[in-house]
Structure 1
Amino acid sequence: MAHLLFITLTIALQALVPLVHSYGHANMCRSYCGNLTIDYPFALQSGCGHPGFRELLFCINDVLMLHISSGSYRVLDIDYAYQALTLHDPHMSTCDSIVLGGRGNGFVVEQWRAPYLNPTGDNVFMLIGCTAESPLFQGFPEKHLPCRNVSGMGCEEFYRCPSWNMIGPKRAGSVYGTGPPECCAVPFEAIKSINLTKLDCQGYSSAYSLAPLRVAVAGAGRWSYGIRVKYSVQRNEPFCRACEATGGSCGYDTNGVNELCMCGSSNSTSNCDSVHSSSCRGTWTLVHTLAGFLICMIVWMKSQYS
């Protein structure tokens, strides 16, 4: 019986030691969805990350989804070094398939998120089947159309894709003949919002390139199709550095404005060291006291039964 109690106390002490060393130093906000790491400024938990990205990402059956006013998109990649997201819209046209009927989400972000989240400059949006009444073509043909190549990608190359064989592009329109072009390529900055309903378009495609010269040579069949979104973080750098240096994670309070340092079960307006030395002191002391008690019990039992 005494031997069994001795073994039980030893196991309890071994389980307690890691807690003593790591208490308050785990990154409580870092998480995963499938094979994607979710880290600052993003988060899946309320209060974690940057307030500008709250209620943005959701993990559904190990699939990471981004939700904005224009709809939901699958997140294919998060590039923390370049500060960019790669998104997929299942109703977006590609070189292999033209999707009409205005079913694509396009890309429209809430106004309050606009300072933090916008498509990158190398992302081209090719709007398909827009009517002559579309805002894109107001004043045509007197007014020059906004359509143009972006990073070596545009409609002239897109027209060569197999998907166009089924509907046939209006070649006359593509060179500003008797009517608007069947496809109009624009950068996001030119119109600030890809809303198929407001633009009166039947569909769209989106492609991006990190190496425009190679893409131009390869043709539209080798483009990377998707929406490449640049995110920016407006944060208090010294605050976050101090928080992360003490094992915390940058977060925000319930009003979504003030920054907080997330320190395990407690938060701080400065860093985790201040939490450990004040509000968590009682818990920290309790952990050490319990560890000391177990050590004393083990030593006493060894002296009694050796």
Structure 2
Amino acid sequence: MDSLFTNKSSSSSTSCFLIILLVISLTTTTHASRCRDSCGSIPINYPFGIDDGCGSPHYRHMLVCSDYGKLQLRTPSGRYPVKTITYTDPHILLTDPFMWTCQDGDNFRPTRPFSLDTSTHFSLSSQNDYLFFNCSEDNVIIEPKPIFCERFPDRCDSSCDSSSYLCRHLPDCGSALHTSSCCSYYPKATESLRLMLKYCASYTSVYWRNTGSSPPYDQVPEYGIRVDFDIPVTTRCLQCQDMTKGGGTCGFDTVTQNFLCLCPKGNVTTFCKDHEISKHRKAVVIAGTVTGVSAAGAIGIGAGVWYLRKVRAKAPVTCGVQSNENRLF
């Protein structure tokens, strides 16, 4: 009898130890799971986040980071590779694999119109220019813009400029076109872009990159799409990021989308060094950061759960007083 009691007590003690170890492991892993601050070589700062609950909810699920460290922007027309993100002059530079490139020359591939959701805090930059190729002159007004605007000032925006600088000096490949026509037109909306592509063979986007030099060499044309974005500035986010107040990361509740300051020891609604509410902090639980769990940790947790199930079949796990409220399984 004593031997049986001893075995049960020993199994119970071992089970309690494994439960405590399991909880500590989960808690440690959860606290270590913070917002990733980069995807490949591209920094991810507020207002963006690639883990759910990070950054501003205005940009939730907009950026996707692949397992290979490739960043993409989601839009209604598809996913587009991100070249760079600039936060001082807030904009994202995208590439569109469907657009015309120098290598295409006079061979035009099927393309799709790029579009943005107008309900988001993204907008197409006015620094973009759009070049259209082999457009139907029966359906598109193709004329040198200065001359056309002098004759029809009220219809100036409707012409596709056939004498534009970029058509005469295609970036990186000035002589790529031999038999095809080119004109420059800035679409006011996605619908006008779709309409142009209905009557044109293909198109491409060129943005003017600031070089930091003195005019007129302060901008150079490059292929790509510049998308501007807003940075929502709130007092709570500034307090959260303040290093004197703990240097937290601005985030949000994934259910309510209310503001949260993400701190090393938990989430708070103010800032990390607000001692009055430190006892109410919750564990940092951010979807998409399960990669922070090591393989050894995952195996250890799985083995612990299996062992506990096995022990429970032989002897009750007490860990104090066993009741319906404190059962683990």
The TM tier, using the shorter chain, reads: 0.5 to 0.7
The answer as to whether partners of 2:168 and 2:174 remain within 8 angstroms in 1 is no
Name the Cα RMSD after superposition: 3.7
Q: Does 1:213 align with 2:216?
A: yes
Q: Does 1:193 align with 2:195?
A: no
The answer as to whether partners of 2:133 and 2:180 remain within 8 angstroms in 1 is no
Equivalent residue for 1:51, pick from 53, 57, 71: 57
Equivalent residue for 1:158, pick from 152, 155, 170: 170
Q: Does 1:278 align with 2:284?
A: no
Distance 1:27-1:195 versus aligned 2 partners, 3 A rule:
farther
**More deviation, 70-79/249-258:** 249-258
Distance 1:124-1:256 versus aligned 2 partners, 3 A rule:
farther
Distance 1:154-1:208 versus aligned 2 partners, 3 A rule:
same
Q: Does 1:29 align with 2:28?
A: no
Question: What CA distance in whole angstroms lies between the structure 2 residues aligned with 1:198 and 1:256?
Answer: 40
Secondary structure (helix, strand or coil) at the match of 1:163 reads: coil
State the 1:44 CA deviation. 0.8
Q: 1:244 maps to what in 2?
A: 241
The answer as to whether partners of 2:76 and 2:117 remain within 8 angstroms in 1 is yes
Q: 1:84 maps to what in 2?
A: 91
The answer as to whether partners of 2:99 and 2:204 remain within 8 angstroms in 1 is yes
Q: 1:204 maps to what in 2?
A: 203
Secondary structure (helix, strand or coil) at the match of 1:81 reads: coil
Please give the per-residue CA displacement for 1:224-272, whole angstroms capped at 9, x wherever unaligned.
1111221112231x11111112221111222564322122463222222
Secondary structure (helix, strand or coil) at the match of 1:154 reads: helix
State the 1:158 CA deviation. 3.4
Q: 1:225 maps to what in 2?
A: 223
**Letter matched to residue 123 of structure 2:** N
State the 1:54 CA deviation. 1.1
Distance 1:162-1:154 versus aligned 2 partners, 3 A rule:
closer
Q: Does 1:41 align with 2:47?
A: yes
Q: 2:108 maps to what in 1?
A: 100
5+ long unaligned stretches in structure 1:
1-23, 170-181, 217-221, 283-306
**Letter matched to residue 109 of structure 1:** L
**Letter matched to residue 280 of structure 2:** S
Q: Does 1:263 align with 2:263?
A: yes
Question: What CA distance in whole angstroms lies between the structure 2 residues aligned with 1:232 and 1:71?
Answer: 21
5+ long unaligned stretches in structure 2:
1-30, 143-147, 284-329
TM-score, with structure 2 as normaliser: 0.59
Question: What CA distance in whole angstroms lies between the structure 1 residues aligned with 2:282 and 2:257?
Answer: 28
The number of residues matched between the two structures is 233
Q: 2:6 maps to what in 1?
A: none
Q: Does 1:121 align with 2:136?
A: no
Question: What CA distance in whole angstroms lies between the structure 2 residues aligned with 1:281 and 1:259?
Answer: 14
